[in-house]
């Protein structure tokens, strides 16, 4: 299917939308529950409309992800461009390592494949391996064919340490479900207490890398623009939690601007709020400050 023209693959996506929304609803209860919790002031009609828009986005995303497996470099360069490349260009010219924080918003798979083409930095992507080793290997081979280096979340520190020849831009999709309660950063997000990974902030302080937020905007079907927002060029000077909080704030703004472009079919809030949340938060901050030093604004 990947070798078919975009238009023909999109025809399949229209049929698939009808199937997963009307005939065999795909996680429809999860989608509606997530939307209800995130947007309590949304009436039922608007919520259903947003859900339909999400499922159309989801089927287009599937179609584009299939095509992305064999898309040519020329076509990819036309379909994924950077709105304000001067931010990354300046950091590259300064020889700075970058943490590129993004999310499962619009077509992140196309961003993964195109990153090494649209930025001067050597592209690195951190991700959890798929349970099926065969498909994990095959998908990552496709993601890496234009220069991206995909590394396992369990050994990324060793890989990053080896990258000394040129500046790198490490892509982190920070809106995934985090692990242990004591390692989470808890914040109000989309109308509810939410747990986020804190690894990007720790990595920024370990490496001194600049941190840049990247959001993907859809300009027309199958065509995207990356918009960059600089979070910090001096992580060690930032108060505890600021890097993560800025990322979450930017992400929330983008989701509110276009709710249907985020991946609502996942159980975003499956982690229960701990009874001892206050203690966990205090201990989390104390460990961070002990490790990286107390900041004046903390």
Per-residue pLDDT reduced to its tens digit, 185-209: 999 999 999 999 999 999 999 999 9
CA distances 50 to 42, 55, 206, 229, 255, Å, are: 10, 9, 40, 27, 12
Q: Facing residues of 105 across strands?
A: 262
Contact 285, 183 (CB under 8 A): no
The tens digit of pLDDT for each residue in 140-177 reads 899 999 999 998 777 666 666 676 678 999 999 999 88
Query: Given this model, what pLDDT does residue 176 score?
Result: 85
Q: Which phi and psi angles does 194 have, rounded to 5°? A: -135, 145
Quick: pLDDT tens for 244-275. 999 999 999 999 999 999 999 998 888 899 99
- Distance from C-alpha of 141 to C-alpha of 58, rounded to nearest angstrom: 23
Sign of CA dihedral 284, 290, 293, 295: positive
The single residue listed with the structure tokens 């496709």 is: 142
- pLDDT of 89 reads 98
CA–CA gap between residue 183 and residue 194 (Å, rounded)? 13
Pick from 290, 111, 99, 108: nearest CA to 200: 99
**pTM of the full predicted structure?**
0.93
What per-residue confidence (pLDDT) applies to 298? 46
Neighbours of 279 (CB within 10 A): 11
């Amino acid at each position: 299917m990947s070798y078919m023209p975009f238009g023909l693959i999109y025809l399949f996506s229209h049929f698939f939308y009808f199937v997963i929304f009307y005939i065999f609803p795909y996680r429809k209860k999860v989608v509606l529950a997530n939307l209800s919790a995130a947007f309590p002031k949304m009436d039922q009609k608007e919520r259903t409309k947003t859900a339909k828009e999400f499922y159309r986005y989801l089927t287009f995303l599937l179609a584009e992800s299939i095509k992305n497996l064999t898309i040519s470099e020329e076509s990819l360069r036309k379909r994924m461009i950077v709105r304000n490349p001067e931010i990354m260009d300046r950091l590259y010219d300064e020889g700075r390592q970058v943490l590129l924080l993004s999310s499962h918003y619009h077509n992140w798979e196309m961003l993964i494949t195109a990153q090494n083409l649209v930025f001067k930095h050597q592209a690195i992507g951190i991700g959890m391996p798929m349970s099926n080793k065969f498909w994990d290997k095959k998908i990552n081979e496709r993601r890496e064919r234009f220069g991206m280096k995909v590394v396992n979340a369990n050994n990324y520190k060793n890989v990053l340490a080896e990258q000394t020849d040129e500046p790198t831009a490490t892509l982190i999709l920070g809106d995934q479900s985090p692990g242990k309660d004591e390692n989470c950063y808890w914040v109000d997000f989309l109308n509810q207490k939410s747990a986020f990974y804190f690894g990007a902030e720790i990595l920024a302080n370990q490496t001194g890398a600049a941190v840049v937020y990247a959001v993907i905007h859809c300009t027309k079907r199958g065509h995207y623009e990356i918009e960059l927002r600089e979070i910090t060029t001096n992580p060690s000077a930032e108060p505890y939690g600021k890097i993560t909080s800025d990322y979450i704030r930017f992400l929330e703004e983008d989701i509110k601007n276009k709710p249907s472009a985020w991946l609502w079919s996942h159980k975003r809030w499956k982690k229960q709020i701990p009874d001892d949340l206050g203690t966990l938060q205090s201990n989390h901050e104390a460990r961070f400050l002990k490790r990286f030093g107390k900041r004046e604004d903390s």
